[in-house]
Amino acid sequence: MHPASSVIFFTTASGAGFGIMSWLCVAILMGHYTLTPHTIVMGVIGLVLAGAGLLSSTLHLGNPQRAWRAVSQWRTSWLSREGILAVLTCLNFAGILALYLTSGVVLPWMAGSCLVLSLLTIIATAMIYAQIKPVPRWHTKLTVLCYLGFSTSTGMAVIASVSPTRYHVYLAFGGLVLAWVFKLLWWQRASRTSLSHDGSTTATATGLTGFSSVKLFEKPHMTQNYLMTEMVFEIGRKHAARLRQIALLAGGLLPFICLGLAIMTGQTAGFVMLSCVMHLIGVGVERWLFFAEAEHVVALYYGKS
Amino acid sequence: MTQHSIDTSPHVSDEVRKTTCYMCACRCGINVHLRDGKIRYIEGNRDHPVNQGVLCAKGSAGIMQHYAPSRLSTPMKRVGPRGAGEFEPISWEEALQTATDWLQPIRETDPAKLAFFTGRDQSQGLTGWWAQMFGTHNFAAHGGFCSVNMAAAGIYTMGGAFWEFGSPDWERTKLFMIFGVAEDHDSNPIKMGLSRLKEREAKIIAVNPVRTGYNAIADEWVPVTPGTDGLFVLALIHELMAAGKIDIDYLIRYTNAPWLVIKNPGGADDGLFARDKDGKALVWNRKTGKPTAYDKAGITPHMSGEITLPSGQTAVPAFQLMMDKYLDSKYAPEAVAQTTGISAEQIKQIAAQLAHVAFEEEITIDTPWTDWKGEKHDKMIGRPVSFHAMRGISAHSNGFQTCRAIHLLQILLGSVECPGGFRFKPTYPKPSTAHPKPGRGQGPGKTLSGPPLGYIQGPEDLLVDADGTPQRIDKAYSWDAPFSAHGMMHMVISNAYAGDPYPVDVLFMYMANMSWNSSMNSRGVMEMLEAKNDDGNYVIPKIIYSDAYDSEMVAYADLILPDTTYLERHDCISLLDRPICEPDTVADSIRWPVMEPDRDVRGFQSVLLDIGARLGLPGMVADDGSPKFADYADYIVNHERKPGIGPLAGFRGEDGTQSGRGAPNPEQLNKYIENGSFWSEELPEDARFFKHANQAYQDWAVKLGFYDAPQPVTFQLWLEPLAKFQLAAAGHGEHQPPDHLRSRIADHFDPLPDWYAPFEGEALEDGAYPLHAITQRPAAMYHSWGSQNAWLRQIHTTNPLYVPGPVCDEVGLVDDDWAYLRSHHGEIKVQIRRMEAVNSRTVWTWNAIGKRKGAWGLSKNAPETEKGFLLNHLIHELLPGSGEGLRWSNSDPITGQAAWYDLKVSIRKAEEGAGTSEPNFDAQKSTVTPGDSQLRYGQEW
Amino acid sequence: MTMLPPEPTKKLGLVIDLDICVGCHACAVNCKEWNTGGYGNALSDQDAYGSEPSGAWLNRIHSFEAVPMDAQGTPQPSDARIVHFPKSCLHCDDAPCVTVCPTGASYKRAEDGIVLVNEDHCIGCGLCAWSCAYGAREMDRASGVMKKCTLCVDRIYNENLPVEDREPACVKSCPANARHFGDLADPSSDVSVMVASRGGFDLMPEQGNKPVNKYLPPRTKTSRCASQTRDDEVPDLVSLAQNNQSTGILGWLDRTLDAIS
Ligand SMILES: Nc1nc2c(c(=O)[nH]1)N[C@H]1C(S)=C(S)[C@@H](COP(=O)(O)OP(=O)(O)OC[C@H]3O[C@@H](n4cnc5c(=O)[nH]c(N)nc54)[C@H](O)[C@@H]3O)O[C@H]1N2
Ligand SMILES: Nc1nc2c(c(=O)[nH]1)N[C@H]1C(S)=C(S)[C@@H](COP(=O)(O)OP(=O)(O)OC[C@H]3O[C@@H](n4cnc5c(=O)[nH]c(N)nc54)[C@H](O)[C@@H]3O)O[C@H]1N2
Ligand code: SF4
Ligand code: SF4
Ligand code: SF4
Ligand code: SF4
Ligand code: SF4
Ligand SMILES: [Mo]
């Protein structure tokens, strides 16, 4: 699939945003009923990230001026659900902040609903991809876990950079490990998941069964078309492997080491900030690969097998 | 929620104008929907005899053709060097006067100094007549490099050819063999026909080195090695003869198989027919044992044996000679398998199937009919086997004989013009003897003696000087290519450049991209067009060219006469030219300006008539010297070839009620337009089959004016005119070939269909060029035209070279590799694709996709120029070994047909990473304004 | 309205015969021609005369090369064949392209099952194209909306067209009659009968989309003898010489001539 930068930014940024909101709600629910200036900064960052992500997601639309229509089909469409949930989550969270700032009150039930909404938003985002059966590498619950994992890990990474408490650093550390466990599982599944994972082959795509091989002889058009640029994105095997290493290194190993150093040296602020930046970059690369490496079965009609 | 509601009955168009497509030469009927003065939609006309409502990809892309940015918009004269594309716009008056000034002196001194060659001309009735009136025999259209082998073999053998003049009986055929066809001119009818065969589960056998298109859907594939079909067919004939599976009754009735051929080895009459005192060929009456005129009703002749005639001559029935020849074991399936690449088993199987279907699955139609001898038949017997063949057969140096062999096979099976067989489209069949002979020059200021193209019957009809020097610039109708019924356009530039047989003064061309895809040796041709004499003048002094688009040829002309598009002009698809008839229907059609030109362009035919009038050519000026015809439309209606016979056969007579013959009708064009731009008439029931021998058909044809007296055809299996040439080659007669051509004529002019190896391969060192290289027409492109079409070019933006799997493995090639392809003439660099469904020694590509930079309104880095390529750079117009004053044309020795598909090549892998095809030429300067990058055609609706 | 309607009682669709399609692209170009001035926005083309020409098409023709195998499963490359393969929207019963659409622009018509895009509501998010396994939807780059085969909904019911022309443009134009249009819910319709008798099949049934359009398989072909049973009955030609040692072809000729006269 074509890795559109707006979509990569959207999923990464809004993922982190909702991750932050989720964590803050958890904190509230865990009894930290007061919001500090620190947490308010975090909350604002969360809202900004989520909002920027959502806005950027309209950049790849053919007709962004009609984007509002996208919230109408919650009964069937994960994209619609995501839009609605995202807005509700942001409103809910903004409500929490506003209430606190105006009256100093924090209502736990609001945090509870916000947490649920926020997690659902992340799930909805993930489901946009996980529901796509023609993309076998996406079509798995692991995709949802990965999105949840990276949302929480990036969310906590931001939180920890703003407020590098030991507690936050530990959580960031834990989130990082968990997210990468999911992602490694996802990658492992992906490596086993070919185009024909669900049984789709050039033979089933064309109905030309009973032959020893079926190969594309001529494309319908010699140059690229929308389907090819959008869904038959080609990325070299070597290139992909290199990028995976970078994603893992920048997004996992180096933040891991930084956080470890932070814990060991107590020089928290710098290391945590560094780890957060690297983690976000790494997740960006991971997201790029998430698209670039996802093969769509339509490629069977364009010479892939 | 409610469902979105839509308007399911939107307004489609303000008006529908019916005309004739010309995105190719198939000439389908189209309905052009207009909306707000623009073309909304083009669809097939359901009532039209050719396409019955369907439309091909090209036809459907007519909108993009019509509005292409590459359209020329004004007359131009060249200001830069030839080939550069530098022009200056001029007025029509200046253009027409320039042409007149160039041509007038020639006509007054030596009309042959004008070479007038038209390419994809559908108005040869007019252009040929114009040449005749001008007095130059240097005229032809593109047939000589296209398919004259097909046309000439068909006409000489049976009075009509596959090539547009006949078709399989799609409704009844049970076994259909298609030889060497990718698209053909009958593009839509063939597809419609194949579909009818499929519906009836009739069997289709495809003989073709490549298994794409029509061949892909065939039930059986014969992966023949290029150039060997003749041998394959003779092996089938061998099998059928040996098994007695031939239709003797049919041969007796309709062919010259029983005619007596004089046997006098070394004598001056050897191989000629024994004739009576009236010149009628004789047969040997079985009952009386006496020779009798062949046309006597009710006799059964001997088909074998030897007779001594009263004259003392020894003679044998032609059939005896056929048995002698074809029963020879060199035609046994086992003997030909290696050369043809077809297993003996498959050949035998096919022979058995042919015999089975022809003789065990006979069909009959209960329509009584009478033959030309007056014998009555109570039904029509059909042998439901039919064949079609085209350029895969004809574009070889043995194509004439191969095509004859295919006809012979059809005829032996009794399947020509019978129900279920191959059927002629009126105005065919027509014997070769009923066609005119090629016209001769009669000197300065004089017209030709007749139309420039025709059918010769012997050496006496050649257009050569006493010493054998060709009279025509292309050497058509010379000893080089005596039966070149369509001329040899592919030799014109090369000969004019070499001054062989003489230089010309003006080269006038129309609708032929001769500096590119329609020439062999394109680079060489470009150089010849650019070449200058020591005095600094061009070797070919003046070039006038009419094109509608900014083609590669435009850059090489001195004077450009910009034509309209096919939707902006009158045209006439005439029975006098290549008609659009179907076997049961006679038909002709017109085009008319369904769109007004928005540029300063004029229909070429009107321009030609204008120039003719300025030159004062007979027939083009009235008595007072004023132009006789206002324009082409006026000519179409009012020109008469003979009294009552004009370009259009429909709606004749003052009131428009007459067909075929009748006085000009001033309302004729309107009548055509009302009728969908065509006229058609069904053949009478009893005239539909056996047209060559059917009295009812012959009478009907006379009534419609195809000819003035019945012209039944006796199929000429033994072709006497060829025997005459062999006699001349052996030194007999007053007309003698030059010595260097004697053995070539003796060896290849066998009066019976024969096979010999194609010339190019034979002239090359063994194994140096082990592969055959051919092209195919893509269904969605018409030669070079398609690339300017925004929709079609997306389908064929470049052309890979398809290389058989075994060759890829040998050479180490994988998909998208670049490779060098080398012939005796040069080397090109191309990108390859692996393919299995192809003869294992044959590489191929789509034809005419490669473009020169700067042409066709395309950007300079268009894939057509960067990756597309032409095979033409590897094909030479002369055979290897030419030189020392001998210029052996790469053509069939009998007809002069260009032997495109004789090409032999070798292949090697190119260095990694390099990505442009070679040769790659400097850009020609575009003479048109580039089109918009983004198109949103129809957005306003 | 991205809820799928209850299973329509009428399912209009196409049946495409791979046994006769010659890959001529007529249907694809005619489709583009009809639709660029028809339903919704034009089917635009980009870099039309440049180095990377592309455009929106609703129907495209692919070709495949299929290598058969013998009874032992050994590939027979010398008997490879080309199959031309036209592809447009299959108007699936379980159309994921409809349910994923966030705006309701994509919908399946309740009355005849045609899957359409309401281009005035489409935001051009591309999700429907992602969800279509067949590549039947293409974004129009100029208008930013999703285009797809409309089954010529503006032809098949169009009262401004003669009755016989109320069929899809691709069906009308196909010179080989490889495309058929009709109601696949009606078992007695021509198309349903064709599907039943010729073994019509679904593309990628494993994707679970239940396409309405069906494809008819190419008949078995070999380079030797073909499908027709007739071939099995055709005996090898036996040479006359073998048949009748004494008279050979001349004897046969004599007998034949005797029979004629
Ligand atoms: N779409 C489209 N239609 C066209 C044209 C076009 O450019 N585009 N051009 C028109 C013109 S001018 C012409 S002349 C006709 C020509 O129409 P076709 O006769 O169809 O001509 P080609 O495409 O040259 O196809 C020749 C076929 O012969 C095969 N072949 C080559 N050598 C041999 C051989 O030795 N034996 C056998 N059995 N087969 C062989 C090739 O593989 C190819 O399939 O088409 C006309 N129609
Ligand atoms: N390698 C290889 N070469 C081949 C062949 C092959 O099979 N292989 N086939 C050969 C054959 S059979 C043929 S017929 C030739 C075809 O070759 P050409 O006859 O040269 O055919 P086109 O490329 O169509 O070029 C015709 C010219 O007519 C112009 N034209 C188009 N429409 C109009 C119009 O309305 N009015 C005017 N005045 N001009 C117009 C076009 O712009 C173009 O410049 O190619 C030959 N060349
Ligand atoms: S075959 Fe196609 S291009 Fe040729 S005349 Fe017919 S519709 Fe036009
Ligand atoms: S083919 Fe694709 S676009 Fe058409 S209905 Fe099915 S899923 Fe949707
Ligand atoms: S591109 Fe348009 S039709 Fe497709 S899912 Fe998005 S809004 Fe719906
Ligand atoms: S039904 Fe209409 S829109 Fe669909 S592919 Fe055919 S022509 Fe195109
Ligand atoms: S028009 Fe018919 S034969 Fe041609 S590609 Fe389309 S379906 Fe196949
Ligand atoms: Mo041609």
Kindly state whether residues A96 and A186 are assigned to the same domain.
Answer: no
Show the domain range for A80. 1-131
**Measured CA distances, B500 to B140, B495, B929 (Å):** 18, 5, 40
Q: Check residue B2 and report its DSSP letter.
A: P
Q: Which candidate from A73, A208, A298 shows the least CB-CB separation from C101?
A: A73
* Band of pLDDT at residue B935, cut at 50, 70 and 90: very high
**Cβ pair C133:A301 closer than 8 A:** no
* Band of pLDDT at residue B708, cut at 50, 70 and 90: very high
Please report, rounded to a whole number, the percentage of residues in chain B having pLDDT higher than 70: 100
Kindly state whether residues A229 and A182 are assigned to the same domain.
Answer: yes
Give residue B225's pLDDT: 98
Kindly state whether residues A83 and A180 are assigned to the same domain.
Answer: no
Pairwise CA distance, residues B832 & B830, whole Å: 6
Give residue A34's pLDDT: 76
* Band of pLDDT at residue A266, cut at 50, 70 and 90: confident
- Residue ranges of alpha helices (H) inside B628-738 are 632-638, 668-674, 695-704, 720-729
pLDDT in tens, C111-136: 999 999 999 999 999 999 999 999 99
Strands B385-389 and B87-89: unpaired
pLDDT in tens, A162-199: 998 889 999 999 999 999 999 999 999 999 999 999 99
Pairwise CA distance, residues B913 & B899, whole Å: 34
Q: Which of A110, A131, A152 is the last residue of a domain?
A: A131
| C-beta of C136 in contact with ligand 5 (< 6 A) | no
Considering the domain boundaries, does residue A158 fall inside one? Answer: no
* Band of pLDDT at residue C226, cut at 50, 70 and 90: very low
pLDDT in tens, A110-148: 999 999 999 999 999 999 999 999 999 999 999 999 999
On whether the CB atoms of residues B770 and B821 are closer than 8 A, the answer is: no
Pairwise CA distance, residues B60 & B779, whole Å: 12
Mean pLDDT score, B670-685: 97
Residue B429 C-alpha from the chain's centroid: 17
Quick one: which ligand is closest to B185's CA? Answer: 1
Best of A217, A226, A234, A304 to mutate (most B CBs within 10 Å, chain B): A217
- Residue ranges of alpha helices (H) inside A30-77 are 37-57
pLDDT in tens, B219-263: 999 999 999 999 999 999 999 999 999 999 999 999 999 999 999
Q: Check residue A252 and report its DSSP letter.
A: I
List, as one string, the DSSP characters of C193-244: HHHHHHT-B-SSGGG----S-EEEPPPP-BSSS-S-HHHHHPPPP--HHHH-
Helix axes B333-340, B344-355, angle to 10 degrees: 120
How far does residue B519's CA lie from ligand 2's centre (Å)? 10
User: Is it true that the peptide bond before C168 is cis, omega within 30 degrees of 0?
Assistant: no
**Measured CA distances, B708 to B132, B689, B779 (Å):** 22, 21, 40
B798 touches chain A (CB under 8 A): yes
| C-beta of C241 in contact with ligand 5 (< 6 A) | no
How far does residue B61's CA lie from ligand 7's centre (Å)? 15
Residues sharing a CB contact under 8 Å with residue A46, sequence separation 6 or more, in sequence order: A16, A17, A18, A19, A20, A21, A24, A93, A155, A158
pLDDT in tens, B828-885: 999 999 999 999 999 999 999 999 999 999 999 999 999 999 999 999 999 998 777 7
Give residue B672's pLDDT: 98
**Cβ pair A200:C207 closer than 8 A:** yes
What's the gap in Å between the CA of C161 and the closest CA on chain B? 8
Phi and psi (nearest 5°) for B177? -115, 130
B863 touches chain A (CB under 8 A): yes
How far does residue B390's CA lie from ligand 1's centre (Å)? 6
Pairwise CA distance, residues B37 & B14, whole Å: 9
Kindly state whether residues A169 and A305 are assigned to the same domain.
Answer: yes
Q: Which of A87, A114, A131 is the last residue of a domain?
A: A131
Q: Among positive and negative, which fits the CA dihedral B724, B727, B731, B733?
A: negative
Burial of B544 (C-beta count, 10 Å sphere; 0-12/13-18/19+): buried
Mean pLDDT of chain C: 92
**Block residue for tokens 């707006």:** A6
Mean pLDDT score, B639-655: 96
* Band of pLDDT at residue C246, cut at 50, 70 and 90: low
**Block residue for tokens 């705006």:** C103
Nearest atom, ligand 7, residue C61 CA: 5
Structural domains of chain A, count: 2
Extended strands (E) in B136-226: 139-140, 166-168, 175-179, 203-207, 220-222
Q: Which of A75, A106, A131 is the last residue of a domain?
A: A131
Kindly state whether residues A192 and A293 are assigned to the same domain.
Answer: yes
Considering the domain boundaries, does residue A118 fall inside one? Answer: yes
| C-beta of C83 in contact with ligand 7 (< 6 A) | no
* Band of pLDDT at residue C224, cut at 50, 70 and 90: very low
User: Is it the case that residue C186 has pLDDT exceeding 50?
Assistant: yes
Give residue B912's pLDDT: 80
Number of helices (H), then strands (E), in chain C: 9, 11
pLDDT in tens, C69-97: 988 999 999 999 999 999 999 999 999 99
Best of A78, A218, A231, A232 to mutate (most C CBs within 10 Å, chain C): A218
User: What length is written for chain C?
Assistant: 261
Phi and psi (nearest 5°) for A54? -60, -45
On whether the CB atoms of residues B233 and B351 are closer than 8 A, the answer is: no
Between these two residues, B279 and A33, which has the higher pLDDT value?
Answer: B279
Residues in B closer than 8 angstroms to C236, CB to CB, are 348-349, 352
Whose CA is closest to atom 45 on ligand 1?
B184
User: Is it true that the peptide bond before B317 is cis, omega within 30 degrees of 0?
Assistant: no
**Measured CA distances, B77 to B1, B89, B95, B150, B714 (Å):** 67, 6, 8, 39, 53
Give residue B882's pLDDT: 79
How far does residue C219's CA lie from ligand 7's centre (Å)? 17
Q: Which candidate from C20, C36, C173 shows the least CB-CB separation from B217?
A: C20
How far does residue A84's CA lie from ligand 6's centre (Å)? 35
Best of B1, B2, B791, B795 to mutate (most A CBs within 10 Å, chain A): B795
CATH number of B766-910: 2.40.40.20
Q: Assign B49 to helix, strand or coil.
A: coil
User: What length is written for chain A?
Assistant: 305
- Residue ranges of alpha helices (H) inside B356-498 are 391-394, 399-412, 492-498
What's the gap in Å between the CA of C70 and the closest CA on chain A? 9
Half-sphere exposure of C64 (CA within 13 A, CB side): 28
Pairwise CA distance, residues A79 & C101, whole Å: 7
Phi and psi (nearest 5°) for B253? -70, -45
Whose CA is closest to atom 26 on ligand 2?
B512
Pairwise CA distance, residues B204 & C219, whole Å: 12
From chain A residues 145-204, the ones with a CB under 8 A of any chain C CB are: 198-200, 202, 204
Give residue C218's pLDDT: 94
* Band of pLDDT at residue A267, cut at 50, 70 and 90: confident
Residues in C closer than 8 angstroms to B779, CB to CB, are 22-26
Tokens of B288: 């009386």
**Cβ pair C64:A204 closer than 8 A:** no
On whether the CB atoms of residues A57 and C109 are closer than 8 A, the answer is: no
Mean pLDDT of chain B: 96
Least CA distance to B799: which residue of chain A? A222
Q: Which candidate from B42, B198, B286 shows the least CB-CB separation from C33?
A: B42
Q: List, chain by chain if needed, residues with CB within 6 Å of any ligand 2 atom.
A: B 119-120, 142, 145-146, 510-513, 517-518, 546-549, 551, 553, 563, 565-566, 604, 775, 782-785, 847-848, 871-872, 900
Q: Which candidate from C1, C234, C252 shows the least CB-CB separation from B352?
A: C234
From chain C residues 146-175, the ones with a CB under 8 A of any chain A CB are: 146
Tokens of A137: 């590498």
Pairwise CA distance, residues C146 & C104, whole Å: 12
Rg (CA), chain C: 25
What's the gap in Å between the CA of A147 and the closest CA on chain C? 18
**Block residue for tokens 């020059």:** B441
How far does residue B728's CA lie from ligand 8's centre (Å)? 32
What's the gap in Å between the CA of B868 and the closest CA on chain A? 11
Q: Among positive and negative, which fits the CA dihedral B559, B565, B571, B574?
A: positive
Least CA distance to C137: which residue of chain A? A227
Whole-prediction pTM: 0.97
Give residue C244's pLDDT: 60
B17-63+570-686 topology per CATH: N-terminal domain of TfIIb (2.20.25)
Please report, rounded to a whole number, the percentage of residues in chain B having pLDDT higher than 90: 96
Q: Check residue B274 and report its DSSP letter.
A: P
Please report, rounded to a whole number, the percentage of residues in chain C having pLDDT higher than 90: 84
Return the number of other C-beta atoms located less than 10 Å from residue B655's C-beta: 11
Residues sharing a CB contact under 8 Å with residue B81, sequence separation 6 or more, in sequence order: B530
Least CA distance to A58: which residue of chain C? C125
User: Is it the case that residue B460 has pLDDT exceeding 50?
Assistant: yes
Mean pLDDT score, A252-257: 93
Return the number of other C-beta atoms located less than 10 Å from residue C197's C-beta: 9
Ranges in chain B annotated CATH 3.40.50.740: 76-143+434-562
Give residue A36's pLDDT: 86
How far does residue B179's CA lie from ligand 8's centre (Å)? 16
On whether the CB atoms of residues B181 and B189 are closer than 8 A, the answer is: no
pLDDT in tens, B389-443: 999 999 999 999 999 999 999 999 999 999 999 999 999 999 999 999 999 999 9
List, as one string, the DSSP characters of C141-207: TTTTEEEE--TTHHHHT-TTS-GGG-S-HHHHH-TT--EEEEETTSTTSHHHHHHHHHT-B-SSGGG
Quick one: which ligand is closest to B787's CA? Answer: 2
**Cβ pair A62:C217 closer than 8 A:** no
* Band of pLDDT at residue C245, cut at 50, 70 and 90: low
Kindly state whether residues A51 and A96 are assigned to the same domain.
Answer: yes
Half-sphere exposure of A102 (CA within 13 A, CB side): 6
Pairwise CA distance, residues B48 & B679, whole Å: 9
* Band of pLDDT at residue C141, cut at 50, 70 and 90: very high
Give residue C232's pLDDT: 54
Residues in B closer than 8 angstroms to A221, CB to CB, are 794-795, 797
| C-beta of C26 in contact with ligand 7 (< 6 A) | yes
Phi and psi (nearest 5°) for A170? -60, -45
Give residue C228's pLDDT: 42
On whether the CB atoms of residues B154 and B408 are closer than 8 A, the answer is: no
Give residue B902's pLDDT: 98
pLDDT in tens, B894-906: 999 999 999 999 9
What's the gap in Å between the CA of A227 and the closest CA on chain B? 14
Assign domain B76-143+434-562 one CATH number from 3.40.630.40, 3.40.50.740, 3.10.180.10, 3.40.50.300: 3.40.50.740
CATH architecture of C12-216: 2-Layer Sandwich (3.30)
Q: Among positive and negative, which fits the CA dihedral B865, B867, B868, B870?
A: positive
| C-beta of C126 in contact with ligand 5 (< 6 A) | yes
pLDDT in tens, A16-45: 999 999 999 999 999 877 778 888 999 999
**Region class of B677: left (phi > 0), else alpha (psi between -120 and 50), else beta:** left
**Cβ pair A221:B795 closer than 8 A:** yes
pLDDT in tens, B537-580: 999 999 999 999 999 999 999 999 999 999 999 999 999 998 89
